[in-house]
Amino acid sequence: MTATSLPTPAAPPAGLSREQLLELYYWMRLTRTLEERLVALYRQTKVVGGLFRSLGQEACAVGSAFALRREDVLSPLIRNLGSMLVKGATPVEVLRQYMAKGDSPTRGRELNIHFGDVTERNFVGQISHLGDMVPVMAGVTLSFKLRQEPRVGLVYVGDGATSTGAFHEGVNLAAVQRCPLVVVVENNGYAYSTPTAKQCAAERLADKGPGYGVPGIRGDGNDVLEVYRLTQEAVDRARQGGGVTLLEFMTYRRKGHAEHDNQSYVPAGETERWAAENDPLDRYVRALTGTYGFAADELAAIDARVREEVDAATDVAERSGTPEPLDALSGVYAEPAMMPVQWYRAGVRSAVEVNERAQGWGTYDV
Amino acid sequence: MTATSLPTPAAPPAGLSREQLLELYYWMRLTRTLEERLVALYRQTKVVGGLFRSLGQEACAVGSAFALRREDVLSPLIRNLGSMLVKGATPVEVLRQYMAKGDSPTRGRELNIHFGDVTERNFVGQISHLGDMVPVMAGVTLSFKLRQEPRVGLVYVGDGATSTGAFHEGVNLAAVQRCPLVVVVENNGYAYSTPTAKQCAAERLADKGPGYGVPGIRGDGNDVLEVYRLTQEAVDRARQGGGVTLLEFMTYRRKGHAEHDNQSYVPAGETERWAAENDPLDRYVRALTGTYGFAADELAAIDARVREEVDAATDVAERSGTPEPLDALSGVYAEPAMMPVQWYRAGVRSAVEVNERAQGWGTYDV
Amino acid sequence: MSEVTFLEAIRQGISEEMERDSDVFLLGEDIGAYGGAFKVTEGLLERFGERRVIDTPISEAGFVGAAAGAAHMGMRPVVEMQFIDFISCAYDMLTNYVATARYRAFLPCPMVVRGPSGGYVRGGPFHSQNPEAAFLHTPGLKIVYPSTPADAKGLIKSAIRDEDCVLFFEHKYLYRRIKETLPAGEHLVPIGQARVARAGTDVSIITYAATVWKALEAAEQLQQEHGISVEVLDLRSLLPMDDAAIVATVKKTNRVLIVHEDTVTGGIAGEITARINDLCFEWLDAPVKRVAAHDVPLPYAPALEDFVLPQTSDIVKAVRWLADY
Amino acid sequence: MSEVTFLEAIRQGISEEMERDSDVFLLGEDIGAYGGAFKVTEGLLERFGERRVIDTPISEAGFVGAAAGAAHMGMRPVVEMQFIDFISCAYDMLTNYVATARYRAFLPCPMVVRGPSGGYVRGGPFHSQNPEAAFLHTPGLKIVYPSTPADAKGLIKSAIRDEDCVLFFEHKYLYRRIKETLPAGEHLVPIGQARVARAGTDVSIITYAATVWKALEAAEQLQQEHGISVEVLDLRSLLPMDDAAIVATVKKTNRVLIVHEDTVTGGIAGEITARINDLCFEWLDAPVKRVAAHDVPLPYAPALEDFVLPQTSDIVKAVRWLADY
Ligand SMILES: Cc1ncc(C[n+]2csc(CCOP(=O)(O)OP(=O)(O)O)c2C)c(N)n1
Ligand SMILES: Cc1ncc(C[n+]2csc(CCOP(=O)(O)OP(=O)(O)O)c2C)c(N)n1
Ligand SMILES: [Mg+2]
Ligand SMILES: [Mg+2]
């Protein structure tokens, strides 16, 4: 795929204050800086498992999440670090997750940004199986409809995930029930190594909308203000009972699927071109300092603040300890609260105690 | 839903001879008469299990299958008795299946018209799980593409089955691989008791086509000649390397989901209106005797022939015996050819033989 | 009080819970106006309205996932599989998303997935399945499979009140064949407790669902014709499993036959045998034996289905073998 | 001849079969230009071309179904799951369509579904699964789970030549850690035969996949430090299971420990225990015991994963318990 030529910044969407324009910049910058920190920690082998980047997709993540209220529920994927930060996830949480710390949001049970909070900040912990979050969010938003709560849900899928049966069943169910759900397809050109053209024969993924009886709208995913505006319209429509909207945002995955991926399958010059011509932060900086007349040092101040926050968060996260092994057995069910410890962990039993459960059964005494 | 007002017959599609026009009539009549016979047998409790009707959908089944060559592969569903007959299934086979006879095509293993033949007549035995045949047919037609065989596949799905993930994954995979596959959506207004409007928010299921990058075409499913023409065009496109076409044929399920279903959920007068105004056989009879100038007794002769064939087939099928129990253990795998008989079926063993497999293990001697 | 069928008992349990808790609602195919393929939800749409009895598209993964999402938000969805055979389409959603939600993300997921299961009804390979074994190695799920109207009612109510996801299997052979007078007033049966369906001293039969009735029939014959006293343990809950009840019956009779309708290979009898070995091996005077379906897809013709599935006569033979041992 | 890794051995087996039989072709996500997430198919696109190495959309049910359709037409598809955890998305297609095709419709369905499985690699709950038990009660499927490069090569070749559907699980922990020199020339290992990985006289360990290596490590320790002679039986094939080999080792040592990485509840150890009871109960001098994962989704943090999964030290303790019995 080729980079689209540099567009001129859109007019500020109605209702965005100058503070909010800076806020958008702050979230995008925080996303990028935090990821750069994660790369450093990854190289120091402090990250357990893989590292997934959203470099070049920050506008898509931040602009869409920014259109939600606190009570609205967001369902992120691995490229949505920015969305989660906007929704209230903290750098410390993210760093602890990646380093598998005991006080991470999942207490070391799940990887990277697979975590959530549906009690206060309202974002749902994703699973790896692609597409599955769409039916789940159909149900989250169905509950809003049934209870007549003025809340909206937003679920992200990649271009690749649109091929899953779960995506299809979830969008169709939400559409036929007119659930207040916004489905954001982040078309970043690749699913792992597979280009979008090998994923779907349709030139525009937004064209799937009419097949579900919902609007299908494509937008420039690297223009944070356009992403915000189109998402805001879809969110309003959902809140007013207008049901589902399918948004396709065109963006580009500049890094590999994960850090280990050398992108050998990417045509020469492609990533460089996107970096040079269509970086969402560069574009937004130009818009802010150009069209909206912000001073360069206003942005520099934000950059500095972000660096400090990420430094501070890293110090805190690095001091966290590893999980307590026995905690691995808790919370599978509400009842029983703990799963039993295997008999041999209770120590070797003599023949005398043969053939009854070892005394230590259910307790951990190794 | 309301019946469409009576259209005038279409011109005979290019390439259809007068003999073929009568053939189409024969297949539609055979389908209806055979089903009426099945109803009689069902009332006599000679049918084991449920009975599924295609009354009012004969044009859709017959007209579409008629566009295939012998080497093309067809994947029918429970409303496609007519398609299977066109493809070479015999009334005797169908009657034996419904009566669970030992010499039925599945030797009593599967129900109703769940049977196939991919060695000569080329139709595939369906399973109950809706949608699953679509990926299977994507693979059947992928093999044609890989081997460069000039063969085409046709798979039916109901309006309800379009909601399944399997449908989505199968159509998308076939589309992106440009497999020579025709997907026929038989929109008969209901999925069991669920009207199409509760199945999908799109007014036209054909609108799903563009979302897969394939043509989505809607036609009158009760006009056998239009069904034939549109299917023929899609088959030609597929054979010439043009890939997948999604056809939606509008028809109506005049009987319940199965014989036991009293259709309490159907608005008063709806089925009657379709019967009176839009019966595919009545319409075709008018077209044949009107536009195409056939004499009424030409058709009467076919009706008589069909009755004789169905009578004869019934006599043959009724004479068939029940399956041999031990056959239930054969053919799960190519190797081993038989699954073992359970030990207790070999008769009660005395304590002497305790704790080794009974002598009769692997043989059936009760 | 008059007798009610197994099916009616389930309907009573569901509607009592819907009365009690307005967060309980139903999702499934054709459960509204039509009342479900087996009429389990008949009348509930009229009684509770479209908000609480929702007809879905044919999308098992879709509405199971939707149930989970609604459950996260505090609702208590009860999902019907038109036939339990179609639960396989939601296998990923149940085992990966639903079962792990509490553990990996502290997401509550109180929901029930219920539907007609089992054979002996000429349903063929896709309308007769017993899927319990496929979910047994999935921590996070609970599995219930009752055999009497009272247990069906008491357990569906407990399942709906449970804080986690319960798979509730309803043997369709029992729906209209089994009747009894239900206990008056609020009736709950705790998940995880087996029931001694018949007391005996010579041989124990451990079973559940439809084969409980075949075991009882066999037990009567064995008593009458062979003077063998059989104890029948109805597990009722398969996950969690009632180890204490299993150990108690083994220690009492020292001879065990496990009976189920699923295929012998990979069926739940394996897990039960392992637990018996683990917990009371020394009390065994004979090998634990199994009576279960032959290892084939379930064929449709009566002669074939009857041959493949376990029958009362098989249980009689197997128990006599164990008694003689 | 030089040593090759477990991963390289699988690649050799696949490419030899692709050379031998032009009907063999590959389907999966990112298996072409990228060579697969673990590079198992690296170089095969260049060697065999786009017709035979096909990148699919993210549609596990879709391409498993497509493989079945192609198999009906005489092709021999080999499907890769990027991680075996995603086979759950094709559960319906495999258990209902593929497994029954020959039985219900006389449709040949020769195909292989393969992919990286297993834990000990900090993969978390969705990149570490062992799904074998979910398919054990599905007649029509075969299940293979090798532990050595030679077996991996010999079994993938047999799987590709098999006339039915074979699920071929590749433990990712072994991919690059285990090396050996492969037998020269055509090397086939028959499906359904276990292998004595270490001969011994006091206690038998029955296991498969990665835990074979832990069992061998434990066996060595037990010999050295405790003078206990352990026999290790590597099942290699789980369906069909090698009853004769199981009986032989039980009759030899009279004490059995079953070890697997899947959860203890509902894992394959249950079926093995039932077969031992059934076939050689009298030869048991101790209860059949299990060492397996704790009953939780597999957590990601090293401290948690290590605690949940069976370790060599656990096997040592359990064997000593059995030896003392
Ligand atoms: C059902 C399923 N199949 C396969 C995978 C393995 N996998 C993880 S990410 C990925 C590519 C996703 O591509 P896309 O949806 O475009 O998201 P992106 O990474 O581009 O943001 C794949 C195939 C998975 N997670 N789930
Ligand atoms: C995956 C799946 N879910 C549910 C069913 C139960 N079922 C059988 S037929 C049917 C309705 C099918 O409607 P449609 O696809 O429109 O086909 P029609 O009967 O109208 O021809 C349902 C829900 C099934 N067979 N498969
Ligand atoms: Mg992508
Ligand atoms: Mg329909």
Please say whether the beta carbons of C291 and C258 come within 8 A: yes
Report the C-alpha gap between A288 and A282 in whole angstroms.
10
Whose atoms come closest to the Cα of A160: which ligand?
A: 1
pLDDT for res B11: 59
Put simply, the chain C residues between 87 and 106 with a CB less than 8 A from any chain D CB are: 88-89, 91-92, 95-96, 99-100, 103-104
B26 within 8 A of B86, measured Cβ to Cβ? no
- DSSP annotation of B206: G
Distance of CA C179 to the CA centre of its chain: 17
Band of residue A12 on the pLDDT scale cut at 50, 70, 90: low
The residue type of B67 is A
CA C42/CA C34 separation, integer angstroms? 7
B241 φ/ψ sector (left φ>0, alpha ψ -120 to 50, else beta): left
Residues of A at the B interface, defined by Cβ within 8 angstroms: 163-169, 172-173, 175-176, 178, 198-203, 205, 207-214, 216, 243
Cα angle B76-B202-B270, degrees, rounded to a multiple of 5? 70
Q: Is the CB of D91 under 6 A from ligand 1?
A: no
Please check whether residue D208 is in contact with residue D238, taking contact to mean a CB–CB distance below 8 angstroms: yes
Which tokens sit at A69? 């209220």
Within the 77-136 window of chain A, which residues sit less than 8 Å (CB to CB) from chain C? Answer: 106, 109-110, 114-116, 118, 124-125, 127-129, 132, 134-136
pLDDT exceeds 80 at position C209:
yes
On chain C, the residues whose CB falls within 8 A of the CB of A357 are: 278-279
| B253 touches ligand 2 (CB under 6 Å) | yes
| Nearest residue to B169 (alpha-carbon basis) of B147, C88, D30, B177 | B177
CB-ligand 2 contact for B107 (6 Å cutoff): no
Contact criterion met (CB < 8 Å) for D301 and A165:
no
B246 lines ligand 2 (CB under 6 A): no
Left, alpha or beta for B160 (phi > 0: left; psi -120 to 50: alpha)? alpha
The SS3 assignment for D213 reads helix
- Quote the tokens at residue B254: 């005049």
- CB crowding D280-318: b at 16 or more within 10 Å, else e: bbebbebbbbbbbbbbbbbbbbbbbbebbbbbbebbbbb
pLDDT the model gives residue A2: 45
Predicted local confidence at residue A364, as pLDDT: 27
CB atoms within 10 A of CB C221: 17
Q: Which residue has the tokens 């098989």?
A: C314
Instruction: Give percent above pLDDT 90 in chain A.
Output: 89
HSE-CB for C209 with a 13 A CA cutoff: 27
A6-15, B289-298, D8-17, D164-173: least confidently modelled range:
A6-15
**CB contact A326 to D (< 8 Å):** yes
Vertex A40 angle, CA A35 and A44, to 5°? 140
CA–CA separation, B5 and A366 (whole Å): 81
Alpha-carbon gap: D230 to the closest alpha carbon of chain B (Å): 25
For helices B296-319 and B280-289, the axis angle rounded to 10 degrees is: 140
Task: Looking at the CA of A255, name the nearest ligand.
Answer: 1
pLDDT confidence bin for B12, thresholds 50/70/90: low
Separation CA D80–CA D163 (nearest Å): 18
**What is the pLDDT at residue B349?**
37
List, for residues B120-175, the tens digit of each pLDDT value.
999 999 999 999 999 999 999 999 999 999 999 999 999 999 999 999 999 999 99
The residue-averaged pLDDT of D16-36 equals 98
Which regions of D181-304 does DSSP assign to beta strands (E)?
A: 195-198, 203-207, 230-234, 237-239, 256-263, 289-293
Is B190 touching ligand 2 by the criterion CB < 6 Å? yes
How far apart (Å, rounded) are the C-alpha atoms in residues B187 and B204?
Answer: 10
C24 φ/ψ angles, rounded to the nearest 5 degrees? -75, 125
pLDDT of residue B346: 77
Question: Which of B106, B164, B344 lies nearest to residue C314, judging by beta carbons?
Answer: B344
As a whole number of angstroms, the distance between CA B128 and CA C298 comes to: 14
DSSP string, D287-298: --EEEEE-SS--
Identify the chains in contact with A, defined as 3+ C-beta pairs within 8 A: B, C, D
Instruction: Summarize pLDDT for D232-267 with one digit per residue, the tens.
Output: 999 999 999 999 999 999 999 999 999 999 999 999
Most informative mutation of A111, A192, A193, A274 for ligand 1 (most atoms within 8 A of CB): A192
B5 pLDDT above the threshold of 70: no
Of A337-351, D103-117, D242-256, minimum mean pLDDT range: A337-351
Question: From the CA of B91, how far away is ligand 2's center (Å)?
Answer: 24
- pTM equals 0.96
For residues B63 and A366, give the distance between their C-alpha atoms in angstroms, rounded to a whole number: 74
Residue B358 has pLDDT above 50, yes or no: no
Q: Residue C149: is its pLDDT beyond 90?
A: yes
Confidence of residue B85 (pLDDT cuts 50, 70, 90): very high
Which one is predicted more confidently, C217 or A350? C217
Q: Is D137 a catalytic residue?
A: no
Residue of A122, A117, A154 lying closest to A138 (CA atoms): A154
Distance A257 CA to ligand 1 centre (A): 9
What are the tens digits of pLDDT across the range A190-237?
Answer: 999 999 999 999 999 999 999 999 999 999 999 999 999 999 999 999
Using the mean position of ligand 2's atoms as its centre, give its distance from the Cα of residue B129 in Å. 8
Beta carbons of A220 and A7 less than 8 angstroms apart: yes
Rounded to the nearest whole angstrom, what is the distance from the C-alpha of residue A193 to the centroid of ligand 1?
10
pLDDT of C40: 98
Is the CB of C89 inside a 6 Å radius of any atom of ligand 2?
A: yes
Whether the pLDDT of residue D318 is over 80: the answer is yes
pLDDT digits (tens, 9 = 90+) for A246-257: 999 999 999 999
Q: What distance in Å separates the CA atoms of residue A38 and residue D81, rounded to the nearest whole number?
A: 29
Contacts of A198 in chain B (CB under 8 A): 176
Residue B2 has pLDDT above 90, yes or no: no
pLDDT tens for C154-197 read 999 999 999 999 999 999 999 999 999 999 999 999 999 999 99
∠C315-C260-C318 over CA atoms, to 5°? Answer: 20
Whether residue A341 and residue D294 make contact (CB cut-off 8 A), yes or no, is yes
Catalytic residue among D72, D127, D137, D187: D127
Give the gap in angstroms from C-alpha C252 to the nearest C-alpha of chain B: 21
| CB spacing of C137 vs D267 below 8 angstroms | yes
Residue in chain C lying closest to B357 (CA)? C289
Each residue of D258-283: pLDDT tens digit?
999 999 999 999 999 999 999 999 99
- Summarize pLDDT for D116-139 with one digit per residue, the tens: 999 999 999 999 999 999 999 999
Task: Report whether residue B161 contacts ligand 2, using a CB cutoff of 6 Å.
Answer: yes
| pLDDT, position B15 | 81
Q: Mean pLDDT in chain A?
A: 92
Q: What is residue C260's three-state secondary structure?
A: strand
Identify the residue among D59, D246, D276 best suited for mutation to test binding to B, counting B beta carbons within 10 A and taking the highest: D59
Under a CB-based contact definition with an 8 Å cutoff, are residues C62 and B163 in contact? yes
Q: Is A42 exposed, middle or buried (0-12, 13-18, 19+ CB in 10 A)?
A: buried
Structure confidence at residue D218 as a pLDDT band (50, 70, 90): very high
Dist. CA C220–CA C232, nearest whole Å: 11
Has residue B312 got a pLDDT over 50?
A: yes
Out of D52, D103, D279, whose CB is closest to B357?
D279
In the prediction, which pLDDT does C1 show?
62
pLDDT tier at B13, thresholds 50, 70, 90: low
User: What are the angstrom distances between the C-alpha of A63 and each of A21, A60, A249, B225, D19?
Assistant: 10, 6, 11, 53, 52
The answer, yes or no, to whether the previous bond of B336 is cis (omega within 30 of 0) is yes
- What pLDDT is stored for residue D58 in this prediction? 98
Q: Residue B168, by phi and psi: left (phi above 0), alpha (psi -120 to 50) or beta?
A: alpha
Q: In angstroms, rounded to a whole number, what is the distance separating the alpha carbons of residues C168 and C135?
A: 12
pLDDT value for A346: 77
Quickly state the pLDDT bin for A13 (edges 50, 70, 90).
Answer: low
To test the pocket of ligand 2, the residue of B130, B134, B255, B259 to mutate (highest count of ligand atoms within 8 Å of its CB) is B130
Task: Judge contact between C21 and C28, C-beta under 8 A.
Answer: no
Which of D172, A85, D126, A156 is CA-nearest to residue C104? Answer: D126
Quick count: other Cβ atoms within 10 Å of Cβ A298?
A: 13
Instruction: Please count the other Cβ atoms lying within 10 Å of the Cβ belonging to residue C302.
Output: 16
Cβ distance B117 to B87 under 8 Å? no
What would the two tokens of residue C270 be? 């394996």
Output helix, strand, coil percentages for chain B, rounded to the nearest 5: 45, 10, 45
CB contact under 8 A, D30 and A264: no
Quote the pLDDT of residue B14. 66
Task: Name the percent of chain C lying above pLDDT 70.
Answer: 100
The shortest CB-CB distance from D75 to any of B106, B127, B143 is to B143
Please answer whether residues B58 and B85 qualify as being in contact, where contact means their C-beta atoms are separated by less than 8 angstroms: no
**Banded model confidence at residue D17, pLDDT cuts 50, 70, 90:** very high
pLDDT score recorded for residue B355: 37
Closest residue to A127, CB basis, from C61, C97, C108: C97
Which residues 6+ apart lie within 8 Å of A354 measured at CB? C282, D286, D325
* Contact call for A109 and C104, based on CB within 8 A: yes
Distance of alpha carbon D116 from its chain centroid, rounded?
10
Q: Are B97 and B105 in contact (CB under 8 A)?
A: yes
CA dist., res. D64 & res. D80, Å (int): 9
Residue from the list A161, A343, A348 with its beta carbon closest to the beta carbon of D58: A161
Q: What is the mean pLDDT of residues A24-43?
A: 98
Query: Which of the ligands is closest to the CA of residue D57?
Result: 1
> Cβ D57–A110 below 8 Å, yes or no?
no
Position with higher pLDDT, A358 vs D25: D25
Q: What is the DSSP string of D121-145?
A: SS--TTSS---HHHHTT-BTEEEE-
Which residue out of D126, D138, D277, D304 would a mutagenesis test of the C interface target, given it has the greatest number of C Cβ atoms within 10 Å? D277
Q: Is the separation of the CB atoms in A359 and A346 below 8 Å?
A: yes
Q: Is B187 in the pocket of ligand 2 (CB under 6 A)?
A: no
Average pLDDT score over residue span A3-16: 58
pLDDT at A361 over 90: no
Gap between the Cα atoms of A245 and B191, Å rounded = 26
pLDDT tens per residue, range B266-275:
999 999 999 9
Q: Say if residues C120 and A141 touch (Cβ distance below 8 Å).
A: no
The closest alpha carbon to C159, from C127, C114, C200, belongs to C114
